[in-house]
A = this chain, B = another copy of it.
Amino acid sequence: MELLEERIKKDGVILGKDVLKVDSFINHQIDVPFLCELGKEFKRLFEKEGVTKILTIEASGIAVACIAAQYFGVPVLFAKKSKSNNIGNDLYSTQVASFTHGNVNNVVVSKKYLNENDRVLIIDDFLARGNALMGLIDLCDQAKAEVVGCGIVVEKAYQGGGEAVRKRCRVESLARIAHMDEKGIEFVH
Write the residues of chain A forming the contact surface with B, with a CB cutoff of 8 angstroms.
15, 19, 21, 23-24, 28-33, 35-36, 58-59, 62-63, 66-67, 69-70, 73-78, 80-82, 84-88, 100-102, 109-110, 112-113
Could you say which residues of chain B place their CB within 8 Å of the CB of A110? 23, 28-29
> A134 to nearest B CB, angstroms?
20
Measured CB to CB, the closest approach of chain B to A114, in angstroms, equals 9
On whether the beta carbons of B32 and A66 are closer than 8 Å, the reply is yes
Contacts of A113 in B (CB 8 A): 23-24, 28-29
Give the CA-CA distance A76 to B24 in the complex, in Å: 10
On chain B, the residues within 8 Å of A62 by CB distance are 59, 62-63, 66
Q: Are A80 and B30 in contact (CB under 8 A)?
A: no
Alpha-carbon distance between A172 and B21 when the two chains are bound, in angstroms:
34
11 further A-B pairs in the complex, CB-CB below 8 A; given A28-B113, A32-B66: A21-B86, A23-B86, A23-B87, A24-B113, A29-B76, A33-B70, A58-B58, A59-B59, A63-B78, A66-B67, A82-B101
- Whether A28 touches B77, Cβ cut-off 8 Å, given contacts A58-B59, A82-B101, is yes
User: In the complex, how many angstroms separate the beta carbon of A184 from the nearest chain B beta carbon?
Assistant: 19
CA A39 to CA B101, docked complex, whole Å: 32
In the complex, residue of chain B having the shortest beta-carbon distance to the beta carbon of A35: B66
A70 near B100 with CB under 8 A, answer no
Contact of A76 among B63, B70, B74, B80 (CB under 8 A): B63
Given the contacts A58-B59, A66-B35, A30 and B86 also touching, CB distance less than 8 Å: no
Q: Which residues of B contact A24 (CB under 8 A)?
A: 112-113
* Pairs A–B under 8 Å by Cβ, sample size 11: A23-B86, A28-B80, A28-B109, A29-B113, A30-B66, A30-B76, A32-B74, A58-B59, A62-B62, A62-B66, A63-B63
